[in-house]
Structure 1
Amino acid sequence: MSISIQHVTYPNLGWDSAADIYLPADFDPNRRYPAIVSTHPIGSCKEQTSGNVYAAGLARAGFVAIAFDASFQGASGGQPRFIEDPAMRVSDIRFAIDYLQTLPYVDPQRIGAIGVCGGGAYTIHAAMTDYRIKALVSITGVNFGRLIREGFSNFDPVAALQAMAAQRGAEAQGGARQVINYLPPSVVEAQQSGISDIDVLEATDYYKSPRGQSANGATSGLFSFNSAAFGWDAFLQAEVLLTQPLMVVVGDKPGGFGAYRDGCEIYGRAASRDKHLVVAEGWSHYDLYDRTEPVALAMERLVPFFKQHL
């Protein structure tokens, strides 16, 4: 027997969210299962690493797992498209929990959360203010607020915000939306333009090739709406509010997106008494998306962690 996937929609703020529910191979609708919300990276979708790797792996381990598309992205509703607003991404996690708690086969007191890349940091932030999350795992989590203030704005956040303000003003007056792609079209083109950062090159290899490419994984962002992330910090108040059991998984090959640094930071700052930092030695940020060996290493640690706390 193999795991099964159900495609569902459920209400969000004036639109519907689209999600895939991964069910264990021996699924019995008359039982009550622990359930885990899986949140995708920035510019990604539910069919990629949050769903086909981590949600699927958790289902094989006996959990119900739900991987959803962010609002304004993928198959979920919301206009305009391609908004990447941290507050909305955190809100999406709460709505996924709402939905899980309506399902008769989910134990509403045994809900956990996992996220990959930006989704890992969004999961951390959600857990600080939603104690329905009983345990959480961040897989190579990236604090998008820090990243957009630094590398994504060429370390000139004020100039970036000025450009976004001008663009949003133009759009408000009828101008065309400016949708940017976070990545180069291919690894070859990235290298030809002088890019050498491991995260950018490996992200391009994942998202722009058959390895991870998906129709809904657009790696796109609405430029003028990205301004919302500049004043946001995924880890704000973690020393006080992040009390649930926490596991942070990072690779030890650091890249420009900063997951290794962010992982070490939140591990140190979290108020959680039960917290674990798992370093996948010899592996990178994007290896933890889908490469067999580092994913197996992560699963070997996170499955017992969730079984203990859920």
Structure 2
Amino acid sequence: MSNVSIQHVSYQNLGWQSAADLYLPPGFDDTKKYPAIVSTHPIGSCKEQTSGNIYAKALAEAGFVTLAFDASFQGESGGSPRFIEDPSIRTSDIRFAIDYLVTLPYVDQDRIGAIGVCGGGGYTIHAAITDHRIKALVSITGVNFGRLIREGFSEFDPVSALQAMGKQRTAEAQGAERHVIDYLPPSVEEGRANGITDRDVLEATDYYKTARGQT
């Protein structure tokens, strides 16, 4: 049984609060200094799934203070409207997570790393380009969200996708009901039956829409 302890925390983001789980190593002593890691969840995921229950837990067991957070507009974090997936804000979320870690007296601010899974891996790389407080990073099956939108999610017709987005924004600005897209089909079989062939989309469905990705 793991002796990792978890603290539920929140901290200031742009105009809202971010919610996170802080994983503390076994035998944690707040008078000591620990290396710390920010763990960023995949697109459409949350702090409890994958970034937290798998990676943050394992990293804490290895002696790292690890912060798994919910993206802005998602999970328990603030921000409205809900369910936005904005790459620039997702990258900014990582910087705000580091801002929180450096306020903790037991975190060694010169030993902060970052890990990201799937889409979170792409955002983590982008954050590290300009935030040199990140001393080491790992991107696990990192996904380029821009490529995924241009290819897999738009079925290789990005111009039509952009035109549809523009029409929907206009409609919503004029009072139409908000349209929220579930990018993944209910199952791999249904996705293939509807003509989806993109490997990233099908493999993501095989993980996130089955029991193994829910625990």
TM-score, structure 1 as length reference: 0.66
1:35 counterpart residue number? 36
Match of 2:140 in 1: 139
Q: In the alignment, is the contact (CA less than 8 A) between 1:205 and 1:211 conserved in 2?
A: no
Aligned-residue offset at 1:198: 4.6
Q: Which amino acid aligns with 1:17?
A: S
Hey, what does 2:118 align to over in structure 1? 117
Q: Deviations over 1:69-105 (max 9, x none)?
A: 0000111000001111110001100000000011111
Separation in 2, partners of 1:192, 1:125: 35
Q: Is the Cα–Cα contact under 8 Å of residues 18 and 78 in structure 2 kept in the other structure?
A: yes
* Residues 196-275 of structure 1 aligned to structure 2 (within 5 Å): 197-213=198-214
**Hey, what's the Cα distance between the residues in 1 that align with 2:151 and 2:193?**
23
CA distance in 2, matches of 1:189, 1:93: 34
User: Within 5 A, what are the aligned runs for 1:1-310?
Assistant: 2-195=3-196, 197-213=198-214
**Whole-Å separation in 2 of the counterparts to 1:213 and 1:172:** 35
CA distance in 2, matches of 1:209, 1:59: 26
Secondary structure of the corresponding residue to residue 153 of structure 2: helix
Cα drift, residue 203 of structure 1: 2.1
Residue 166 of structure 1: how far off its partner (Å): 0.6
Aligned CA-pair RMSD: 1.5
Q: Is the 8 A contact 1:115 1:137 kept in 2?
A: yes
Deviations 1:190-228 (A, max 9, x none): 3443545554333223222322237xxxxxxxxxxxxxx
Q: Report the AA paired with residue 120 of structure 1.
A: G
Equivalent position amino acid for 1:131 in 2: H
Mapped partners of 2:177, 2:7: distance in 1: 37
User: How many residue pairs get matched?
Assistant: 214
Stretches of structure 1 lacking an aligned partner (at least 5 in a row): 215-310
Deviations, residues 42-62 of structure 1 (Å, cap 9, x unaligned)? 111111111111111111110
Amino acid paired to 2:64: F
Q: Note the C-alpha offset of 1:122.
A: 0.4
Q: TM-score scaled to structure 2, two decimals? A: 0.94
SS of residue matched to 1:151: coil
Cα distance in 1 between the residues matched to 2:23 and 2:206: 26
1:100-131 Cα deviation digits (max 9, x unpaired): 01111111111110101111110011001111
Code of the aligned partner of 1:101: V
**Contact 2:152-2:198 at 8 Å conserved across structures:** no
Any idea what the Cα deviations from partners look like across 1:223-257, whole Å, max 9, x if unmatched?
xxxxxxxxxxxxxxxxxxxxxxxxxxxxxxxxxxx
8 Å contact kept, 1:114–1:137: yes
Partners of 2:111 and 2:177 lie apart in 1 by: 46
Whether the 8 Å CA contact 1:9–1:18 is kept in 2: the answer is yes
Q: Equivalents in 1 of 2:68, 2:114: separation in Å?
A: 10
